Copies of this chain bind each other. A is one copy, B any other.
Amino acid sequence: MDFAHTPKMLELQSHLQVFMDRYVIPANVEWHREVEAGRYPLALIDRLKERAKAEGLWNLFLPGLREDEPGKRLSNVEYAPLAEIMGRVPWASEVFNCSAPDTGNMELLHLFASPEQRERWLMPLLEGDIRSCIGITEPDAASSDPTNLQTTIKREGDHYVINGRKWFTSGAAHPNARFVIVMGLSDTRPEAEPHARHSMVIVPLDTPGLRVVRNVPILNHHSPEGHCEVTYKNVRVPVKNLVGEEGRGFALAQARLGPGRVHHCMRTIGQCEVALELMCERALERKTFGRHLADYANIQDWIAQSRIEIEQARLLTMRAAWMMDTAGNKAARNEIAAIKVVAARLQTTVCDRAIQVFGAMGLTPDTPLAFLYTWGRALRFVDGPDEVHLRTIARQEIKKAKENRRTMADFMVPPLI
């Protein structure tokens, strides 16, 4: 066991940190002003993307990039600390072409795209020329159990015809978004195997019948890129837009999710570090009853707890990344479920404490905490609610116990009677 980062990793982290310090963080206020003013898409993002690409800080997230694809070819372990560094500024990942849901789509297409799909959709994504969406979640189906999905993808001759309603289609309000990968029922026969009924198809956003009906605020927060509600009414796409095989939608969704969860978690950890730093700095400047908040033992407990919880979350996430690298995404399934639960809760917990230390200012948009706290709450649904992940982990433990069933025999001490 070795907890040290390799020299390669340390160098990458340092390079990225310098970039962040030099270019990204100084642009943070400008970013907020531009978004408030509705000047979207943001010129500053394009400017920064160009620079990041020039410095080779590009597509850092995709382990198996081909030689002809631009990017770094990092392992998950190598990438994870970079996601943390980027995550400190919630809008920064896009600068390095590492933002969700594009990263998941790139992974998916990288694995399953036809040559034509590759050329038309993947390459522009890898170049950062366009953005994309994923359409899985539906208003009327608990996403913890995706067999409930109701959107249909019906083959008619050379086309698929899509009907349904999706929401939380992130990025659909971004002016550069060009397509959405829609998941839906392609096999509606009652006898079909529940996990083999769904398919994924690429749907250009300008296809007739597709309508972005609204940009849904999340805990009052209007994202400029949008978490959109999208209706599909007889939307027709050619059969060649199918991703992978028909009926394999679930497998694709699974393949897509693992690395993305590591990314989310590491970004969360970066944001929690920011919140903890803010909490400490505010505790040093704010006084009540003649003493700085930093001198109060309850505030100190919050600070220490936050530090401990962040360290534990980071180690768990790094271990999950390492398992994905060494044993594969599937073998890391429980580890990924665990970090998803841990990180989302961490963000609300740490930001809640930070807000309390800030006082009412913590509720205002003058600090990043209001956004981070509410986004942390939302994270408890992103990629599945906590409960479904806990269930996955519990079932694995119970299965182990069923197979073992030795511990009670070994450790009980029957009374002498």
Which residues of A line the B interface, CB within 8 A? 1-6, 9, 25, 28-29, 32-33, 36, 77, 137, 139, 142-145, 148, 167-168, 213-214, 216-222, 229, 274, 276-278, 280-284, 286-289, 293-294, 296-301, 303-305, 307-308, 311-313, 315-316, 318-319, 322-323, 326, 338, 341-342, 352, 355-356, 359-361, 363-368, 370-371, 373-374, 377-378, 380-381, 385-398, 400-402, 404-405, 407-408, 410-417
The reply to whether A167 and B316 form a contact with Cβ atoms under 8 Å apart is: no
**Chain B nearest Cβ from A248, distance in angstroms:** 21
The reply to whether B301 and A390 form a contact with Cβ atoms under 8 Å apart is: yes
Q: A1-B322, A316-B311 are in contact. Are A380 and B356 (CB under 8 A)?
A: yes
Q: Pick the contact of A145 from B36, B288, B401 — CB < 8 Å?
A: B288
**Chain B nearest Cβ from A272, distance in angstroms:** 12
**Chain B nearest Cβ from A179, distance in angstroms:** 22
Q: Complex Cα distance A391/B370, Å?
A: 26
Q: Complex Cα distance A142/B352, Å?
A: 17
Q: Pick the contact of A363 from B6, B218, B341, B400 — CB < 8 Å?
A: B218
Q: Complex Cα distance A217/B365, Å?
A: 7
The reply to whether B287 and A142 form a contact with Cβ atoms under 8 Å apart is: yes
Q: Pick the contact of A308 from B144, B391, B393 — CB < 8 Å?
A: B393
The reply to whether A303 and B219 form a contact with Cβ atoms under 8 Å apart is: no
Q: Complex Cα distance A281/B139, Å?
A: 16
List B contacts of A214 (CB < 8 A). Answer: 415, 417
Q: A1-B2, A287-B148, A373-B377 are in contact. Are A410 and B220 (CB under 8 A)?
A: no
Q: Complex Cα distance A387/B359, Å?
A: 11
